[in-house]
Amino acid sequence: MTIPAIGAVSAVDPTAALSAASGVSGTSATGGASFGNALTGAVDNLQQLQSTSDQLSIQAVTGNLDDIHNATIASSRAQVTLELVAGVRNKAVDAFNEIMRMQA
């Protein structure tokens, strides 16, 4: 099993990182539906990365893995993507709470 190459995503641009994590490209789509689609894609990609990481970890533990680097890279990618998705979720919750405070 091979791990796909990490795309050239700028660490400074979280929008590009979210797009790369979700598989959504371009900024031509706007609105709530596209944001929802981006989040759904990011979560789906996260689940796929975690599944790959789990499979490679099991292979490493059972001794069926030829290259431990693949398992390490898959684990790191899943961890970084989880942190990104959690960060976006936290910012969305903060924004929602701020909007609710404005209404009160």
Per-residue model confidence as pLDDT tens digits over 7-59: 433 333 444 445 555 455 554 546 778 888 988 898 999 999 999 999 999 99
Q: What pLDDT band is residue 6 in, cutting at 50, 70 and 90? A: very low
Distances (CA, A) of 58 to 3, 38, 41, 43: 16, 30, 26, 22
Per-residue model confidence as pLDDT tens digits over 72-92: 999 999 999 999 999 999 999
Neighbours of 35 (CB within 10 A): 15
Q: How many CA atoms lie within 13 A of 16 on its CB side?
A: 8
Residue, of 22 and 100, whose pLDDT is higher: 100
pLDDT at position 103 is: 86
**Domain assignments of the chain as residue spans, ordered by start:** 14-103
Q: What is the pTM of this model?
A: 0.63
Distances (CA, A) of 15 to 7, 21, 55, 69: 14, 10, 29, 28
pLDDT at position 30 is: 62
pLDDT at position 84 is: 92
When computed from its CA atoms, the radius of gyration of the chain, rounded to whole angstroms, is 17
